Amino acid sequence: LQICSYLFFPALVILNGTVRLLTGWITNRDRISETNFIRKDEHTVLVPGTVDIATLNEQLQLGLPASEAYRTAAGFMIHHLKRVPATGDRLQWGELEIEATRVVENQIETLLLRQVTRPFLEGTPEPEKSLAASSYD
């Protein structure tokens, strides 16, 4: 019985970790804070792939659709491309361009979000002013 428990318990721990990793329910202590967005300019923001769609929509006022098929920004990109992107692959979603900037071992670590027609709303001029200014460029 002692030998069986020494073999069975580690196998259970490994199986549990694998299932959590594959389903996206793992909590990683080294994970980047989900609200740690890096604003490159008024049209471009670098975000972790692990950020929830709801958080992304709330912080950047994007209006990305929620779905049972994905929970995170990385999941959104994978779902719509129907594959894991390589570094540099892009997805156009309305006026938003999403670029995979860092992909390691089939995991999207960072994404670059670029508003094509207007700047992100937080801390930037009103969208109407930005649209008017950009039409004369």
Cα–Cα nearest to 107, from 53, 5, 26, 6 = 26
Query: Which tens digit of pLDDT belongs to each residue from 110-123?
Result: 999 999 877 665 44
pLDDT at residue 32, rounded to an integer? 38
Helix, coil or strand: residue 86 = coil
Domain boundaries along the sequence of the chain: 1-28, 38-120
pLDDT at residue 20, rounded to an integer? 62
pLDDT at residue 72, as a whole number: 93
Contact status, residue 62 vs residue 96, Cβ threshold 8 Å = yes
What is the full per-residue pLDDT of the chain (137 aa) written as tens digits? 455 566 666 676 677 666 665 555 554 434 434 468 888 888 899 999 999 999 999 988 888 999 999 999 999 999 999 999 999 999 999 899 999 999 999 899 999 999 987 766 544 434 333 333 434 44
Separation CA 41–CA 67 (nearest Å): 29
Q: Say which residue the tokens 């156009």 belong to.
A: 92
Topology given in CATH for the domain delimited by 38-120: 3.30.465
Nearest alpha carbon to residue 115 among 132, 100, 101, 98:
98
Chain centroid to CA 40:
16
